[in-house]
Amino acid sequence: MDKDRLSRKLAVLLHADVVGSTTLVQKNETLAHQRIQSLFKSFTKTIDAYRGTTRELRGDALVAEFDRASDAVAAALAFQVINGELNSTIDDDIQPHLRIGISLGEVIIADNTITGAGIVLAQRLEQLAESGGVVVQGAISETVPSRMPFEFVSLGEQVLKGFDQPVRAFAANLRQGEELPTPEAEAISEPAKPTALPIPENPSIAILPFTNMSDDPEQEYFADGITEDIITTLSKIPDLFVIARNSTFTYKGTAIDVKQVAQELGVRYVVEGSVRKAGQQVRVTAQLIDASTGHHLWADRYDRTLTDIFTLQDGLTREIVTAVDVELTEGDQIRVWRDAAGDMAAYEHFAKGRDFFSQNTRKAISQGQQEFEKALALNPQFAAAHAYIGWNHAVAGVWWSDDRQEAFSAARAAAEAALSLDSDQVDALGVLAFLDLYSDEHDRAERIAVEAATLNPNSADTHDTLAMIQSFSGKPDEALSTARHACRLCPRTPEKLLELGRAFYEGERFEEALDPLDRLIFNRPYWITARAFLIVTSVGLDNRELTKYHATELLRIRPKFSVGRWTRTLAYKYPDDRERYLDRLRFAGLPE
């Protein structure tokens, strides 16, 4: 499937079904099919007139999508009138009648096919309708403006197959003595074509995940670790533009076209490679490709023992830097290629821990913590392991630890241990900036984050942290610039869209905030932080339909959510900003 034709969004869904289609076909198969097809052609024209889109014809059923609930209800009621008039002209009993259901929900659209819980709900509501009738979800009845000439008769709470909670259903009718609204004229324009990412002025490069060629699939983390270390090393070079690990790893395990990858990531150079580990022997192959020409600029194979793995990595990255014609100052060389504290067993535990950490779940972070501690038990001088332990404690302190102060103290001690071993350890600086942010030391937090971003200009995570600090500090314009840079470094990672949405929200640019937040929630539908931002953004827009939908979804995902507990996740510098955010959550009806 062409992923460029895949989208997910919140929509008003209409499901229509022919009543007793099997009986009609049994009476006269040919005539019944002709009339059903004619019915749907006519209904499609009505849907188009009311600014809807017919997505599918499923035998004796039709699926359509609308942006506005009022348009969907108007189209449904209008066509029931039209179809009634058509059937009145038929002399025989092969008269197709429709039942129609309308709901609000998230859907996935691919190749004009629409799926998702919202469309299933519309189908279940349609089954409640009488022949020639329309039944809508409660959310639809509440979002249609009262000025519209519709009335909604409650059918009570209905227990529907496939849904855990009862659904409020209403029969929709045209108010007596009223006329249906006429379709609104609207100019139709060509959809905007996606624009290719511009190639940076500096040499730009993406390191694709090295393929694990070992017989043991458990060695996957080892190949990933080598890839990530190469990315980390190259990222420190100020004259390079390096795509972040989170984006390049989205290609893992897939057949790739180097030229297409380069276009999608907006880079000129791409590195591919493989790793084979057998006992104490390692073979690493790598090649550097100029995607603009398709030429291989450099390729090599390294056969080493495990004890030489760090030297191998440094040699490989030096070859890449030379091939793309980047010259390093003496200071950069010292900073980029300082000797690694090289206990191989410790490194393997660290690589496993880093892999767990990237999964970004409470369970995985706990598993990663155990691996980092094993690494330090073997090599107490392992600065990066200290830094990641600091991040584990810091994240726990914000999200789930019962004793924040204890968690933060442990995080700070780990970060300072890392910096005592490596004063330029960027991850450790990120931990300290994060801790200062949540300790109301906003100015110091920003200074440290800026220092980290200067040391590693290609670290998307570091710029992400800086953008969050700037947003919480009442600097939305600066946050927006920083968040955009993070997204450019990591263009295929939905998590980076959060700070972009946050920056737009804090600048009260609510319409612009919706796009990154919608794209994020499509990929991470259970991310509560993103859902909360969609709620406060919808309140800012005074869009009650969206507000109600996202508030309902949040409580479905986390039934015990409360505004009071959520306060611990906020680190605003100015109390008025925090209260404005919390008041919008309360306005959405979320429990205190």
User: DSSP labels for 406-449?
Assistant: HHHHHHHHHHHHHHHH-TT-HHHHHHHHHHHHTTT-HHHHHHHH
CA gap 14, 126 in Å, rounded: 9
- Name the class of domain 204-336: alpha beta
Sign of CA dihedral 335, 341, 344, 346: negative
pLDDT at 188: 32
- Per-residue confidence of the chain (592 residues) as pLDDT tens digits? 344 444 567 889 999 999 998 899 888 887 888 788 878 888 988 898 898 988 877 667 899 999 899 999 999 999 998 888 878 877 788 899 999 999 998 777 665 566 778 888 999 999 999 999 999 999 999 888 888 899 999 999 999 988 888 999 999 999 888 888 877 644 333 334 445 678 888 888 999 988 888 767 667 878 888 888 888 888 888 888 999 888 888 888 777 788 888 888 999 999 888 888 877 788 888 888 988 888 888 888 888 887 777 777 777 777 787 777 665 554 444 444 444 445 778 878 888 888 888 777 788 888 989 999 999 999 899 998 999 999 999 999 998 888 999 999 999 999 999 999 988 899 999 999 999 999 999 999 999 999 999 988 888 999 999 999 999 999 999 999 999 999 999 988 888 999 999 999 999 999 999 989 988 887 777 789 999 999 999 999 998 888 988 898 888 888 899 999 999 999 999 999 999 999 999 999 999 9
Query: To 5 degrees, how large is the angle CA 403–CA 409–CA 413?
Result: 150
Q: Which of 127, 134, 34 is nearest to 77 (CA)?
A: 134
> b vs e for 176-200, b when ≥16 Cβ sit within 10 Å of the residue's Cβ?
eeeebbebeeeeeeeeeeeeeeebe
Contact by Cβ (8 Å): 274, 213:
yes
DSSP one-letter code for 201: S
Q: Assess if CATH 1.25.40.10 describes domain 459-592.
A: yes
Q: What is the pLDDT of residue 184?
A: 61
Q: Report helix angle 528-540 to 575-587, nearest 10.
A: 90
Q: What is the pLDDT of residue 125?
A: 96
Q: How far is CA 271 from CA 289, 290, 298, in A?
A: 6, 9, 10
Asked if 104 and 12 count as a contact pair (C-beta separation under 8 A), the reply is yes
Same fold flag, 343-456 and 459-592? yes
Its pTM surpasses 0.75: no
Give the CATH superfamily of 343-456: Tetratricopeptide repeat domain (1.25.40.10)
The residue ranges of DSSP E strands in 186-256, in sequence order, are: 204-207, 211-212, 241-242
Tell me: the pLDDT tens digits for 493-536? 888 999 999 999 999 999 999 989 988 887 777 789 999 999 99
Q: How far apart are CA 500 and CA 47, in angstroms?
A: 36
> pLDDT at position 121, please?
93
Which residues is 540 bridged to in the sheet?
none
Please spell the DSSP secondary structure of 350-378, one letter per residue: HHHHHHHHHT-SHHHHHHHHHHHHHHHHH
The SS3 call for residue 573 is coil
- List the structure tokens of 167: 């659904």
Name the CATH superfamily, with its identifier, for domain 3-174: Nucleotide cyclase, GGDEF domain (3.30.70.1230)
* Domain-wise residue ranges, the chain: 3-174, 204-336, 343-456, 459-592
Count, in order, helices (H) and strands (E) of the chain.
Answer: 24, 14
- How far is residue 366's CA from residue 357's CA, in Å, rounded to a whole number? 8
Strand ranges, E, within 111-189: 113-115, 134-137, 150-158, 167-174
Q: What is the pLDDT of residues 366-390, one digit of tens each?
A: 898 999 999 999 989 999 899 999 9
State the DSSP H helix or E strand holding residue 14, giving kind and residue range, or none if neither: strand 6-18
User: Position of tokens 């060695």?
Assistant: 219
**pLDDT computed for residue 334 by the predictor:** 42
Instruction: Print burial letters for 107-126: b (CB count within 10 Å at least 16), e (below 16).
Output: bebeeeebebebbbbbbbbb
pLDDT for res 58: 65
- How high is the pLDDT of residue 193? 41
Residue 198: its pLDDT value, please?
83
